[in-house]
Amino acid sequence: MKASYNALRALLIVANIASPLAGHAAAPPTHDLPSPQISKALDALLLPVNKAVIKKFKLAKGEHGVLVLSVKKGGVADKQGIKPGDVLSEVHGHKVHKAVDVDVAVSRDLKAGKSDIALAVLRDGAPVAVAAVITLEEYNEAISVTEVSSWESDTSETSFSYSEYVSEETQTIESSYESEETTVEEAMTQEESSSDEETSDEASDDSSEDDGGDDAGDDDGGGDDSDGDSDG
């Protein structure tokens, strides 16, 4: 009898320990879409365009770039006429594939003293001319991640619930926003390093060509001296 009681007590203890842990298990997403990311440059939530996104939002086959999932009211995108459902494919001629590509391109221009940013935007498959003005102050303005769920989104696609999607992706949105500045800095540092290497390689090539010309001249001069010595 005592053995049975102890066994039952052990089972209850195990159950009490396991229950809280089970409650904290992350629920798998109910969608097959990629994770979104906040663009500090645009004050918008962007989604990389892939086959699942094209199918879900009925985009034209072959479209590429980032889908504007939502925009902050009064934010950069909203003020520049960029709307939810738009597809952004280029920033100043640089192709973009994810949200951080947009911020890297804008950061590059701001660092060079440029605030007029040319954006290639498609709306319902047709190009829309957007020449956005983005200041450094706007870019550096902090965004409240908790307000993203209330941003203006495209409600024309009834099979997609923006609020449910953002709720499932909240942790990803928060973590990517927290690390975004570091990610942009690292990307720009890599670009600068690549640019320096290219410049160094070009300088090295030019130097080699110059050296080759000098060596050829020295050889000719040496040949003349040799002939002179033989004649003597």
Vertex 195 angle, CA 191 and 198, to 5°:
140
* C-alpha to C-alpha distances, 127 to 17, 87, 119, 130, 157, nearest whole angstrom: 58, 9, 10, 9, 21
Average pLDDT over residues 123-141: 90
A 10 A CB-CB count for 231 gives 6
Residue 17 lies in a domain: no
Residue 30 lies in a domain: no
The full length of the chain comes to 232
| The overall pTM is greater than 0.75 | no
Residue 157 lies in a domain: yes
- The 10s digit of each residue's pLDDT in 182-196 is 888 888 888 777 766
Helices 99-111 and 162-231 meet at what angle, rounded to 10? 50
Measured distance CA(111)–CA(91) in Å, rounded: 15
Total domains present in the chain: 1
Element (H, E) at 131: strand 126-133
- The 10s digit of each residue's pLDDT in 57-75 is 999 888 999 999 999 999 9
CB burial class (10 A; 0-12, 13-18, 19+) of residue 145? middle
Residue 21 lies in a domain: no
Write the CATH number for 141: 2.30.42.10
Domain range holding 66? 37-190
**Burial 18-49, CB ≥16 within 10 A → b, else e:** eeeeeeeeeeeeeeebbbbbbbbbbbbbbbbb
Residue 197 lies in a domain: no
Query: What is the percent of the chain where pLDDT is above 90?
Result: 51
- Cα 77 from chain centre: 16
Whether the per-residue pLDDT at 232 is higher than 90: the answer is: no
Measured distance CA(45)–CA(85) in Å, rounded: 11
Per-residue pLDDT band at 204 (split at 50, 70, 90): low
- Return the CA Rg of the chain: 30
Residue 146 lies in a domain: yes
Whether the per-residue pLDDT at 169 is higher than 90: the answer is: yes
Residue 5 lies in a domain: no
